[in-house]
Amino acid sequence: MPARTGRPPKISRADIVSAAHRIIEAEGTEGLTMRRLAREVGTTPMALYHHVHDKEELLLLLLDDYAAEMPRPELPDESAERMAAAAVALHDALAGRPWIVDVLRADDLLSVNALWYPETIIDAAVRAGLTLERAVDAYRIIWHYTAGEITARAAARRRREEGGPTYRRRVFAELDAEALPRLAAVGDRWEELTARDTYGEGLRALVVGLLANRFAMGGPSMKRSGSDDDPMD
């Protein structure tokens, strides 16, 4: 029954997504606007909104398309290494696409086609001896770190491209060496030190710590200092 009711569509979701791909490829993230996209597809901007809820959903579709082709590398057998390797693969796949950043806030599950990554990480964590619940926690923690690193990376790149290194200079120039001796000791080298890629190092530390499991949830040690009230609700 291919006979559907209503005005027949001139464009499809797939048309939109592939046009978006083309634009991003040719003109980068900034070139992808709903108006520009409409022109590319050959329709009006608002027509897009009948196929896509908003721009964020469009980016999610783009991610999903892209995720289908992301590398699923051979993984080591040992659990900790396996977790780290899967996370690195996820990180590397995402870090290369600047527009990803706009979608990172969307969800911790990313897209359907990217579910292989959480699955693999959670599975490795369970194999390493965590309960399923704690494995999920571990995945989310790794994800927060990963998303944060990618965001910072993108911001640093943007800063580099825009050229204005003034702010950090000013900070270190005005810095009170008595109150902040460590930062003063770093001084001009901040720029250089923070340019290094520390994702892998942090990830390994995280995996080690998560599996070491020194501080079980609700455990007594390393209690939070300061007031007890949680400012989020």
Partner DNA sequence: GCTACTTTCTATACGCGTATAGAAACTCGC
Partner DNA sequence: GCGAGTTTCTATACGCGTATAGAAAGTAGC
Dist. CA 150–CA 134, nearest whole Å: 24
By CB under 8 A, residue 116 contacts a second copy:
yes
Contact partner, 10, from DNA, a second copy, none, Cβ < 5-8 Å per class: DNA
CB of 29 vs a second copy, minimal distance in Å = 14
Dist. CA 68–CA 130, nearest whole Å: 29
What is the crossing angle of helices 132-162 and 79-95, to 10°?
Answer: 30
By CB under 8 A, residue 225 contacts a second copy:
yes
Q: Of 156-195, which residues contact a second copy (CB under 8 A)?
A: 157, 159, 167-168, 171, 174-175, 179-183, 185-186, 190, 193-194
Helix (H, G, I), strand (E, B) or coil at 4: coil
60 versus 203: smaller Cβ distance to DNA? 60
By CB under 8 A, residue 144 contacts a second copy:
yes
CB of 10 vs DNA, minimal distance in Å = 3
By CB under 7 A, residue 158 contacts DNA:
no
Q: Using CB under 8 A as the criterion, what x/- string covers residues 71-110 for binding a second copy?
A: x-xxxx-xxxx--xx--xx--xx-xx----x--xxxxxx-
33 versus 194: smaller Cβ distance to DNA? 33
Q: Of 33-62, which residues contact a second copy (CB under 8 A)?
A: none
Token pair recorded at residue 18? 């592939």
Q: Position 159: which residue type?
A: R
Q: Of 1-30, which residues contact DNA (CB under 7 A)?
A: 1, 3-11
In 3D, which of 62, 156, 63 has the Cα closest to residue 117?
63
Dist. CA 41–CA 57, nearest whole Å: 17
Q: Of 40-69, which residues contact DNA (CB under 7 A)?
A: 43-47, 49-51, 54-56
Dist. CA 139–CA 207, nearest whole Å: 10
Q: Of 169-208, which residues contact DNA (CB under 7 A)?
A: none
Dist. CA 145–CA 11, nearest whole Å: 39
| Number of residues counted as binding DNA (CB under 7 A) | 26
Pick from 22, 34, 81, 141: which binds DNA (CB under 7 A)? 34
DSSP string, 121-133: HHHHHHHTT--HH
CB of 106 vs DNA, minimal distance in Å = 12
130-155 CB burial, b ≥16 within 10 A, e <16: beeebbbbbbeebbebbbebbeebbe
Residues that bind DNA (CB under 7 A): 1, 3-11, 32-36, 43-47, 49-51, 54-56
